Amino acid sequence: MDCSYFDAGRCTSCSLMGQPYSRQVADKQRHAEELLGPFDVPEWLPPIASAESGYRNKAKMVVGGTVDAPTIGILDADGHGIDLQACGICSPGHRAAFPVLARFITLARTAPYDVTRRTGELKHLIVTESPDGELMIRFVLRSTEPVGRIRKHLPALLAELPQTRVVTANVLPEHKAVLEGEHEIVLTDADTLPMRLNDVTMHLRPQSFFQTNTEIAAALYAEARDWIRDIAPDSAWDLYSGVGGFALHIAAGDDAGPEVTGIETSVEAVASAELSRSDAALSRLRFAAGDATTFAIEADAAPDLVIVNPPRRGIGGELSAWLEASTASHVLYSSCNVASLAKDLAAMPSLRPVRARVFDMFPQTTHFEVMVLLERGR
């Protein structure tokens, strides 16, 4: 993939831009095998490659410039906006929406936030596209002052982007380097974006995490379901469950499937997962808000299977120690950081790898997902 922004030095976020994609995938596979080499993984399945471009379902763009000439992209070192509306890793739906959103910023007189002067209102645009082409558009604002104007002119935006399902205003009053605030104002009738992966529909709420690459996420969940069917556990936990991707894929609508519990710190994500569970009528699946480690340590008994999909830091020493000492016969570990995965595996020597696979969730970057199935030694 070629990128004029990268070639011109305007954006270097995609550090592997310009490298042959086949080499990127091969290097990621090699890196994973090297770091997990000490654990003697008996079966490495071929890596799952992504589309090279247009793969992101979520665009997190900084708004700069002026109200009459806004930029949608990133900021340079001096805090000036760099426009990236044609970013090649964003989905076609994103790229079609950005010019409309730029015009809407002007129409609604919502001045971009000036980081150096700490003036203006609109900090970020967060746009998510579903597999069916529907959009969730979130305006991250310094205050509620522009909300009335956004609401007034919203019909014009919806007329130009009829595929838009959810529009919100997120309020981030603090001057700090975070993406969004805690307060969300929903401006449309709908407040969730259906994300249909495989035969499962997940309902994404505004502040819920979802895997960035829809195609690869679908492959990841389908593979997990296949591996888990071979195990046939009676009970399972999905820790760091997010909006329930793993749990919803392994749960069954009758008594034939395992009894599954999903645990996630984000209340918004749990609400999303519960809506999906209810719609699918999965009576043997439940979700709850809480800390994964605390939940495990305080539980009366371990399940047959524990699924963990932690953030980049991994599951950490305390949960690793609990898993090592538990009666769980299998662990399915999906990791976005193979280094922290290796550290956690070293703390669980009784749980031995059965198979592993790399999923290239982030083409043009050094990041990727790797999933490992662990089995307790007999």
The residue among 225, 189, 191 whose CA lies nearest residue 208 is: 191
For 248, residues 6+ apart whose C-beta sits below 8 A from its C-beta are 200, 202, 273, 276, 277, 280, 282, 285
Helix 21-35 × helix 338-346 angle, to 10°: 20
Structure tokens at 332: 């399915």
User: 144 in helix, strand or coil?
Assistant: coil
Strands 235-239, 259-264: pairing kind: parallel
User: 86 in helix, strand or coil?
Assistant: coil
Query: Which residue of the set 14, 87, 90, 336 is catalytic?
Result: 336
For 325, residues 6+ apart whose C-beta sits below 8 A from its C-beta are none
The residue among 333, 324, 335, 338 whose CA lies nearest residue 372 is: 333
3: annotated active-site residue:
no
Provide the Cα torsion 343, 345, 349, 354; round to 10°: -150
CB 286 within 8 A of CB 258: no
> How many other C-beta atoms are found inside a 10 Å radius of the C-beta of residue 184?
17
Distance, in Å, from the CA atom of 280 to the CA atom of 198, rounded to the nearest integer, reads 14
CB 272 within 8 A of CB 202: yes
Provide the residue type at 167 as one letter.
V
| Catalytic residue numbers, as ranges | 336
